[in-house]
Structure 1
Amino acid sequence: MKMVSLRFDGVSYWAQVDGGPEFLVGQRVSYQGRKGLSNLKGTPAQRYDPRRHLADHSAVWLYFLAPTAAAEGGLFHTLNTYDRAAFTFGFLQYAAHVPDGDFVVYLRALLALPGAADYFPDLVLLDGRVHRHADDGLRPLESAASTAPLMAWLNPSTAQVEDTEVIQAARFIHWVQNDPAHRALQVRSGVEHMQAAMRRYDAAYGLDGRPIEQCLLVADIRHQGRGSSSEIRLALQANQPVEALLNVGANQYPERIKTLRKALKMLAGEPSFAGQRWRSALKDFSA
């Protein structure tokens, strides 16, 4: 079991695992009456880069993730424990509050890695669900209806920052920073999540033949939750759908829209991305 020691400097929490080098867990922040941690600091090597994963995944899907990753922080250890999700983590900020959602699927896969017993020895998979060892036996942390026990295990309260919250975050951060298999799994989880999401969005919005830029923006709106389905449908019917989609939630999230514009501009010259369209029959993109 990995042993975690903590230090608070009045602004940020720092940790050591098994007496190793100290690393940043997160800055203490307040947001809409809640308190938690935020970590958006890291090196280029700790940031998602599609080019590093071309041997393992389709280039088009790796680049499809890039703008949303940039908008979500882009670091494999991106952390947020102050909003309604209680705990979001990873380069796409997988959120713990959604039953059978991206974080839950990611955590289940993590528990199959060899490092799981060292970082989270109290967790186990039973019948495909995450359970915790307790004095009276195994207790489920998530179900098809709720992740409330999982959220409480990760972050007992958003009214304050607790040692439990910092320690759990430190374990995730240290693991992903030091294990290539963990980072590879995070990318695979992102690719598979977006592939499944695009099939749902196609069914909801009729995306057959739509350029990849439009599909990406639909996916980003849904990922962040900044617009309704009616707003998405209206934007897709506009004369300039890309601009209309970028305008969804733009007043409330101007920095995110700025990041998306910049990322799309950079991808315009990428052969694996430019010119791709969604094909419903293939359930995939093709030129």
Structure 2
Amino acid sequence: MSSGAQAKTIKVSRDLNLLAPAFRAAVEAAILDCNDQGRPGGPLNAMVYEGFRSPELQAIYFQRGRTVKPPRHTVTNAPTNEFSWHGYGLAVDVIHATQLWEPGRGENWFRDVAAVFARHGCKWGGNWTSPDLPHFQWGRCRASPSDHARSLIRSGGVQAVWTEVGADLPDIDQPAEPEPASMRPAAPHMNDGGDVDVLEVETLVGRSITELCRNGFTDDRANHCAHFVAHALGLDFGYTCRAHVGGSASGANLRVHEIFAECPRVGLWADADQSRTQLVFVTRRDVVSIATKTMGNIPQKHVGIVRDGIVYHYSNTLDRVTSQPVGEFLDTFQRLYAGDQALFFGEIPHSDLVLAVDPSGQAGVSEGTIAFELRRDQKDWIARRAEDDAGKAFLAGVEIQQPAKGFFGLFFPVARYYGPVFAPEDHAGVIGQWAYLLDLTAACESRGFMNLVNTYDRARFTFGFYQLAAHTPDDNLILFFREALADPEFRRLFPELDLRGGRVFNVSPDGTATDLEAGILDPASGEMQLQRFMAFLNPNRKLVDEQEVLQAARLIWWANQDGESSKLQVRVAARILGRKMARTYHPRYRLDGQLDTVCALIADIHHQGRAKVDVVRAAMAEPREADREAALLAIGSVSYPERIATLSGRLRALKSAGHLGRKRYVAATNEFA
């Protein structure tokens, strides 16, 4: 039960990541259905007010109506969070987004919400003897936690309870399907990256999930249909096996509805181009919205890869990959599932972001675009503008493949850096003191080279003197692309891209527009990431492919040839740093009046991510300015000695030249004076 208002000192948690995985999926799907614009009667405007509840907050709630008044009546009978499913991540409180606990339709509004949650396997507190209208909990839980539940959480943590009630695994409730009538066993063949080529999917028939998942998620209680498809196609977005159980191999998505949502196009199977290799989904017709590409997270759903009329999917009964004709596939699940089952097609996720790259730079190039010849010389990738016979070839990157560290991509060895270099004095007239703060970090990130590319780390693609990363929404590289698309030369380099409503879209030759700025949760890091944008720049993080090289060549060529690229990089980097200084660093560390050197060091620490807030605060507690600066400079010296040496040397040079160490931060103007 929610108390109706937040405690003054302890806030409620709305972080759905703290819920049991299967329950979280049910809540997310139910809220999505509640707020569907196409819902009969209109959207319900529901929101999760509270999820997991801490012991401290539960104690405050328990006091209300007892030792703390008002209210006159108690708000909960649970003395500690072990007596409430909120304390186990198995309950949420749902209220109206604007009318809060008192929606205009009163209890009828909560009943409508409850009907939606029931379809996703959740129970409603409104059905209790003492109704708790906002309360919803995992359907396998009794009304309140038992002594057994409390014993489990004390001995094994919430994970033990989640396992007991079947909420620890996504899609585990799906019944096992019977063996299909037709099977085509074949010898398996995996490519070097560990994923099967979609054209060779038939070679996986007969393989078990233990052979396919290198992260070790092989629980035979779970439905592995999405898991198999994602490993086969390299779909590592959303909730993955790596996020679920850990491991060091690339993850594969575990959720059918998440895969459905990432398909470029979906529709009824009858409307599919059945000559294509694509995905086929089977589930209840009434839980799918083709217009919004959403599928309810109900247990009764399945997915497979269809090629030449044959569906390749994972049989949980047989515990292996199997195959059968499309019609038989539908018949199987029509018998197995209740309700009106339907087949839906989905184009392979992110397939619309894969470019037809011709290394000669000739094929598929439309008039007015800038194309490149690409060639590989051992580990070097060399590029040259295709239509310029006299054009100079240039290095687009050097392959680095270190599977033990997860490195697959392009980089530039320091000895081979080349091209234009950031000179802060050239930009100080426009961006002021920010130019020298940027220079300090640029010296460490890129030595100031404007054309530097890195495609092997978790961001999949970083570019430029400030190493703008591709994975962050409304930040870094996507901001650069937004502004660059206003430049005609840049649009000739990236003819697939268009700016619509201030957002970057990929437009396929058939006119399909894909929003590259849609945020997708990466459970491993807890971050929202631009995984479509990342896939457009670097489709396969397990190997270096020609699309990845082409994107690097495009950006490097523009940085080498056009001074506007350098100016734009600096403008974007300065805005990013200025925004973070005002909105993040100053509120955390009270920087008003601090020397620019202190601000620059804090910015570099967080840009690299080499220390947490408490470590920086400890350094900032030094009373003398010189000691404060020295303490900040020492952070990371053990783990990153080369960076700290570069940082120290550049800081000395900038101070000696009078560029840093003489101005102080003015919070009121977000400038230095």
TM-score, normalisation: structure 2: 0.41
> Helix, strand or coil: the match of 1:47?
coil
Q: Which residue of 1 aligns with 2:534?
A: 151
Instruction: Report the residue type matching 1:37 in the other structure.
Output: L
Q: Which residue of 2 aligns with 1:22?
A: 393
Q: Which residue of 2 aligns with 1:33?
A: 406
Q: Which residue of 2 aligns with 1:268?
A: 655
> Helix, strand or coil: the match of 2:459?
coil
Pairing partner for 1:213 from 588, 593, 597 = 597
Q: Offset of 1:271 from its aligned partner?
A: 3.3
User: Which one is further off, 253-262 or 109-118?
Assistant: 109-118
Whole-Å separation in 2 of the counterparts to 1:91 and 1:109: 17
Q: Which residue of 1 aligns with 2:417?
A: 42
Whole-Å separation in 1 of the counterparts to 2:498 and 2:605: 33
> Helix, strand or coil: the match of 2:487?
coil
Instruction: Report the residue type matching 2:616 in the other structure.
Output: I
Corresponding residue pairs, total: 284
Given that 2:420 and 2:559 are in contact with CA atoms closer than 8 Å, whether structure 1 keeps it comes out as no
Given that 1:53 and 1:62 are in contact with CA atoms closer than 8 Å, whether structure 2 keeps it comes out as yes
Instruction: Report the residue type matching 2:544 in the other structure.
Output: V
Query: Within 5 A, what are the aligned runs for 1:102-181?
Result: 102-134=476-508, 135-143=510-518, 145-181=528-564
Greater RCO, 1 or 2 (C-alpha within 8 Å, sep 6+): 1
Q: Offset of 1:56 from its aligned partner?
A: 3.0
Tell me if 1:222 matches 2:606: yes
Q: Which residue of 2 aligns with 1:4?
A: 372
> Which digits, 9 at most, give the CA deviation of each residue in 1:241-282, with x for residues without a partner?
112112222222111111110011001133343311111122
Pairing partner for 1:76 from 450, 466, 490 = 450
Tell me if 1:188 matches 2:188: no
Structure 1: segments with no counterpart, 5+ residues: none
Query: Within 5 A, what are the aligned runs for 1:268-287?
Result: 268-286=655-673
Instruction: Report the residue type matching 1:251 in the other structure.
Output: V
Whole-Å separation in 2 of the counterparts to 1:85 and 1:168: 15
Whole-Å separation in 2 of the counterparts to 1:221 and 1:272: 20
Given that 2:440 and 2:651 are in contact with CA atoms closer than 8 Å, whether structure 1 keeps it comes out as yes
Given that 1:28 and 1:37 are in contact with CA atoms closer than 8 Å, whether structure 2 keeps it comes out as yes
Q: Offset of 1:55 from its aligned partner?
A: 4.0
Whole-Å separation in 2 of the counterparts to 1:85 and 1:264: 28
Given that 1:36 and 1:80 are in contact with CA atoms closer than 8 Å, whether structure 2 keeps it comes out as yes
> Helix, strand or coil: the match of 1:46?
coil
Pairing partner for 2:632 from 245, 257, 262 = 245
Whole-Å separation in 2 of the counterparts to 1:110 and 1:278: 30
> Helix, strand or coil: the match of 2:605?
helix
Q: Offset of 1:137 from its aligned partner?
A: 2.0
Task: Note the aligned Cα RMSD (angstroms).
Answer: 1.5
User: Which one is further off, 270-279 or 156-165?
Assistant: 270-279
Structure 2: segments with no counterpart, 5+ residues: 1-368, 520-527
Instruction: Report the residue type matching 1:187 in the other structure.
Output: V
Q: Offset of 1:36 from its aligned partner?
A: 0.6
Q: Offset of 1:192 from its aligned partner?
A: 1.4
Given that 1:97 and 1:147 are in contact with CA atoms closer than 8 Å, whether structure 2 keeps it comes out as yes
> Helix, strand or coil: the match of 2:505?
strand
Could you say if the C-alpha distance between residues 283 and 110 of structure 1 is closer, same or farther in structure 2, counting changes exceeding 3 Å? same
Whole-Å separation in 2 of the counterparts to 1:235 and 1:37: 36
Whole-Å separation in 2 of the counterparts to 1:274 and 1:225: 23
Whole-Å separation in 1 of the counterparts to 2:479 and 2:533: 13
TM-score, normalisation: structure 1: 0.94
Tell me if 1:62 matches 2:435: yes
Whole-Å separation in 1 of the counterparts to 2:429 and 2:440: 20
Could you say if the C-alpha distance between residues 161 and 102 of structure 1 is closer, same or farther in structure 2, counting changes exceeding 3 Å? same
Whole-Å separation in 2 of the counterparts to 1:55 and 1:267: 17
The 4+ residue runs of structure 1 with deviation greater than 6 A are: none
Given that 1:25 and 1:170 are in contact with CA atoms closer than 8 Å, whether structure 2 keeps it comes out as yes
Given that 1:100 and 1:143 are in contact with CA atoms closer than 8 Å, whether structure 2 keeps it comes out as no
